[in-house]
C-alpha cells in the first residue's frame, strides 16, 4: 500500500447526461456534478465538496462540504491516488478520452498547479487511447470519488 500525498486536490467534473459537459468549446462546460477533494499538509482530515445540478436547472446547486478523517478513508484515498498516477494524463483540448463525459484533475503540488494530472477529458495530440484496463481503472476512480462525496 502506498502512502497518501500530504497535499492534494482532486476535482471530478461530470458532464450533462444529454449534452457536452466537460469538453466546453466556445461556451464553457455545463457540468452535471462536481466533486472536490482537498487535503492540506499533514492534516488529519480532508474535505469533500459536492455540487450537483438538479434536472432542468441551469447551474450546479449549493455545495455540500464534509470533513472526513484520513485514517477512516486511507485505503480509498491511497487507491484513488495510485489509480490517478497511473492513468494517461493530458492537457485541456477537445476530446473526451474515456468516452464518459467525466474529467478528473489530480493536483499533488498546490503551489505548482502546472504539475497536474487531468484524466478523462481533453486528450491532446499524441495521447494514445486508453486500454480497456485503463478505462476500468478510470471508472474505479470515479466510483471512489462519488462514494466519498455521498
Over the stretch 90-146, which tens digit does the pLDDT of each residue have? 554 456 778 788 888 888 765 554 444 445 444 455 567 788 999 999 999 999 999
In a domain, 42, yes or no: yes
| The pLDDT of residue 26 is above 60 | no
**Grid coordinates standing for 49?**
465538496
Residue among 98, 95, 99 at smallest CA distance from 130: 98
In a domain, 92, yes or no: yes
Domains held by the chain: number: 1
Whole-number pLDDT of residue 17: 56
Whole-number pLDDT of residue 22: 55
Over the stretch 47-96, which tens digit does the pLDDT of each residue have? 999 999 888 888 888 999 999 999 999 999 999 989 988 887 655 445 67
| The pLDDT of residue 28 is above 80 | no
In a domain, 2, yes or no: no
| The pLDDT of residue 29 is above 60 | yes
Rounded to an integer, the average pLDDT of 19-46 is 74
List the helix and strand counts (H, then E) for the chain.
2, 6
Structural domain including 126 reads 8-148
Whole-number pLDDT of residue 93: 46
| The pLDDT of residue 41 is above 60 | yes
Query: Can you give the pTM of this predicted structure?
Result: 0.80
Amino acid at each position: 500500500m502506498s502512502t497518501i500525498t500530504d497535499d492534494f486536490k482532486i476535482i471530478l467534473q461530470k458532464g450533462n447526461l444529454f449534452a457536452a459537459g466537460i469538453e466546453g468549446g466556445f461556451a464553457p462546460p455545463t457540468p452535471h456534478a462536481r466533486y472536490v477533494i482537498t487535503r492540506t499538509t499533514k492534516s488529519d482530515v480532508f474535505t469533500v465538496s459536492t455540487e450537483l445540478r438538479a434536472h432542468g436547472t441551469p447551474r450546479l446547486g449549493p455545495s455540500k462540504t464534509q470533513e472526513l478523517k484520513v485514517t477512516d478513508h486511507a485505503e480509498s484515498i491511497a487507491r484513488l491516488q495510485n489509480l490517478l498516477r497511473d492513468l494517461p494524463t493530458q492537457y485541456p483540448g477537445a476530446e473526451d478520452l474515456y468516452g464518459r463525459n467525466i474529467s478528473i484533475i489530480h493536483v499533488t503540488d498546490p503551489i505548482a498547479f502546472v504539475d497536474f494530472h487531468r484524466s478523462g477529458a481533453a486528450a491532446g495530440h499524441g495521447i494514445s487511447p486508453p486500454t480497456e484496463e485503463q478505462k476500468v481503472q478510470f471508472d474505479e476512480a470515479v466510483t471512489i470519488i462519488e462514494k466519498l462525496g455521498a
